[in-house]
Chains A and B, each alone.
Chain A
Amino acid sequence: MAVTVPPEKTAVDRPPRRTARRSRRRPLLLNVLALVAGVLVWALVAALGLIENLPTPLAVSRKAGEMVADGTLAADTLASLRRVFLGYALGVVVAVPVGFLMGWYPSVRAVVEPYIQFFRTIPPLALIPLTVVLLGIGEVPKIAVIYLASFMACVVSSFQGVVDVDRTLINAARVLGASDRVIFTKVVIPASTPFILVGMRIGLGASWATVVAAELIGAQEGLGYQMQKASTWFEMDTIFVSLITIGVLGLLMDRLLLLAERRLTGWQERR
Chain B
Amino acid sequence: MNSKISFRDVVKTFPLKGTEFTALDGVSLDIADQEFVTVVGPSGCGKSTLMSMAAGLQEPTGGRVLVDGAEVEGPGPDRGVIFQQYALFPWLTVRQNVEFGLKLASVPAEERRRRTDLAIGLVGLEEFADALPKTLSGGMKQRCAIARAYAVDPQVLLMDEPFGALDALTRVQLQDQLLATWSREKRTVLFITHDVDEAVYLASRVVVMAARPGRIHRVVGVDLPYPRTEEIRLSAEFRQIRNTVWTSVYHQEQAAPAV
Q: Which residues of A contact B (CB under 8 A)?
A: 1-3, 5, 166, 168-169, 171-178, 182, 186-187, 190-191, 193, 267-269
Contact B124 A268 (CB under 8 A): no
Q: Which residues of B contact A (CB under 8 A)?
A: 55-57, 74-77, 79-81, 83, 85, 87-92, 100-101, 104-105, 123-128, 132-134, 140, 145, 148, 152, 173, 177
Q: Within the assembled complex, what's the spacing in Å between the Cα atoms of A175 and B83?
A: 11
| Closest residue on chain A to residue B74 by CB atoms | A174
Contact B89 A1 (CB under 8 A): no
Q: In terms of DSSP, what is the predominant structure of the interface of chain A?
A: helix
A1-B124, A269-B134 as given contacts; A176 in contact with B89, CB under 8 Å = no
Q: In terms of DSSP, what is the predominant structure of the interface of chain B?
A: loop
Contact A174 B57 (CB under 8 A): yes
For the A-B complex, the count of residue pairs with Cβ-Cβ distances under 8 Å equals 76
Contacts of A269 in B (CB 8 A): 90, 134
A267-B132, A268-B134 as given contacts; A177 in contact with B152, CB under 8 Å = yes
Q: Within the assembled complex, what's the spacing in Å between the Cα atoms of A87 and B140?
A: 46
Q: Within the assembled complex, what's the spacing in Å between the Cα atoms of A53 and B88?
A: 61
Contact B127 A176 (CB under 8 A): no
Q: Within the assembled complex, what's the spacing in Å between the Cα atoms of A3 and B174?
A: 12
Contacts of B134 in A (CB 8 A): 267-269
| Closest residue on chain B to residue A264 by CB atoms | B91
A2 touches which one: B83, B124, B128, B140 (CB < 8 A)? Answer: B124
A2-B124, A268-B90 as given contacts; A174 in contact with B83, CB under 8 Å = no
B91 touches which one: A1, A168, A182, A190 (CB < 8 A)? Answer: A190
Contacts of A268 in B (CB 8 A): 90, 134
Minimum C-beta distance from B229 to chain A (A): 16
Contacts of B127 in A (CB 8 A): 3, 5
Contacts of A176 in B (CB 8 A): 77, 100-101, 104, 148, 152
